[in-house]
Chains A and B, each alone.
Chain A
């Protein structure tokens, strides 16, 4: 009964589309559209194809991190190490490529594996040793930050330029086709992001791994008592998180060329904000990859769009904070109404 009254009062909830995608995601999609329209009206330069590609460029590394960390968050945990693991893995694999002439393909794989290794360590610390995820990943955040600097002797690493022979790996994320009318850019990274998002979404919703990860996020003890190997599945969630940080490292190198040791702290918060805006519950047990991607695009549209209307990136941080709070509050308020 009370459900009905609240839906009557709120026309938004009556909409079948909104019902299908969930309130918070509906709000997030709406916010994304509003942002796009607003920036397009406010700045003619924003309406260019190159801007669209730039938004995608800025969304790859956040997007990959966010897909991975969605799993850690669904278990009710958190992974603070992904930002610095991104930089660490890319610093190490980039050093192998530039200083030791290791073939690029192997470097890319090594980069992803380093991410996976950090994920494994995080997972074991949380599931076997029983450390709170916040603390365990705070530790590995510092470790990865420090190790990246140690390995590179605190010097920046510049991945091969696209004009160099080894620069082909950039085509994974963006192919430049020279035509008579100039360069045409094909954002192949977007395809990769979508494919991996679909794969992880299937894993989350349609496989045992995904169901157990979700279950242990809502009630770990009950899941354990029903005979599920929670250690295994919780560890797996963190391995996903770390692996995707490694993939994010590759995309970051392809987009920004130069990795600075000591940086990376703070990138994870962009990804986590994207996940939360996308409707994943910080207390675990619920989350979707599609929502995460929408949240990520809100982050990257803000990042790329605000300078077009004359606001430097300190305003971006300021405004993103509000978007985050409003998005989550809207969801909390709706749930309260519905549960009354």
Chain B
């Protein structure tokens, strides 16, 4: 009997959590509710804000609603912080939601749908897939809700739907990574008697930011190499491929089947294991961490070995750059991305003219990590 009571209690508690968990897909208030239910758990800044916003708002405060790619990576926490600061300064309400993982395109579409139904003053959108959101963007335009793209834009959106973008010029950031990488492998390419390979690790082939960081890198690298009279073939994923037989330099693009640590680490290991590889570029935090993981057994990365280049920061990438496993990385300015998104959203909602903002990016190595211009952009 005792056992029955115990198990019933356990299961009721569990069922309750399930019910709340399921609800969260449909309405953003749920995570906040569950958070409160969880005892002895200090309320996070994210949930705090969500909880405030979720209360039926009767006042006329302007609501800016941001649909992000999720909160998995610390990068988004920095974006959120910037957005929060700007919202507080401008006196508007800001809510930020995102799917559980960066593979959950459908969940994000649903979140955007909910956002439009809430009729906020403006919506910020960091699209996981440039095509999946198009219908809803049209709906938002029809209901006259301005959309501000952040982090990752929607290039094929109908004219006038996306008022402005606040993001790193991702294509230029990819080019920057290519230029810095090229400096370190120029001699190797020039001296090579056989084909050499440059690996590119790309988390996906669907979002604007990741695709452009890959494309910017590939295009720049291609033009730099071709300027010396050598030929370049781009292989691997179909999205980027431009195959040339017998090329001097092969750019090999790996895209994992799913955004998981083990799938991406396998991709990285595979690239590092190819005998002719001289450099590997990982185009975001996830891929960068996977590259560092992949290197753990192989120990091939380093200034004297295969040149490893990453993007963003976080403990793993920062440590790897500091220790020289990665020669360097490109950092964005996530705080500014969050800040500018809210500023643009408020301006657009008020009917003011807005234009794209490039929040910039910088190349960092072990030598300039502590530089006051760079250090604040490197998060843990």
A residues contacting B by CB (< 8 A) are 44-45, 48, 50-51, 53-54, 57-58, 121, 124-125, 128-129, 139-140, 142-143, 145-147, 149-151, 153-156, 158, 161, 163, 182-183, 185, 231, 255-263, 266, 303-304, 307-308, 312-314, 317
Contacts and interface: CB of A to CB of B under 8 A. Distances in A.
B313 to A, nearest CB: 11
Find the residue from A143, A146, A231 having the highest chain B CB count within 10 A. Answer: A146
Given A45-B274, A58-B266, A155-B77, A262 B299 contact: no
Contact of A256 (B35, B262, B319): B262
Contact of A308 (B15, B257, B273): B273
B267 A307 contact: yes
Contacts of B35: 150
Interface in B225-265: 254-263, 265
A125 B3 CA distance: 11
A317 B261 contact: no
Contact of B297 (A57, A128, A139, A256): A57
B314 interface: yes
Contacts of B255: 312
A50 B31 CA distance: 43
A50 B21 contact: no
A129 B262 contact: no
Contact of B3 (A51, A53, A128, A257): A128
A45 B275 contact: yes
B101 A257 contact: no
10 contacts: A58-B262, A58-B266, A129-B8, A153-B44, A153-B71, A155-B77, A256-B293, A260-B101, A312-B256, A312-B267
B4 interface: yes
B194 interface: no
A57 B14 CA distance: 33
A200 B23 CA distance: 40
Closest 9 CB pairs of A and B: A262-B100, A307-B270, A146-B21, A124-B7, A154-B71, A256-B261, A262-B101, A153-B44, A45-B273
A304 B272 CA distance: 13
Interface of B: 3-4, 6-8, 10-11, 14-15, 17-18, 20-22, 24, 31, 34-35, 38, 41, 44, 46-47, 70-74, 76-77, 98-101, 104, 254-263, 265-267, 269-270, 273-275, 289, 292-293, 297-299, 314-316, 319, 323
A153 B45 CA distance: 9
Contacts of A143: 14, 17-18, 21
Contacts of A256: 261-262, 265, 293
Contact of A183 (B14, B263, B299): B299
Given A124-B6, A128-B3, A304-B269, A156 B15 contact: no
B260 A317 contact: no
A216 to B, nearest CB: 17
Find the residue from B10, B41, B257, B262 having the highest chain A CB count within 10 A. Answer: B262
Contact of A161 (B18, B72, B274, B319): B319
A314 B76 CA distance: 28
Nearest to B298: A50
A260 B72 contact: yes
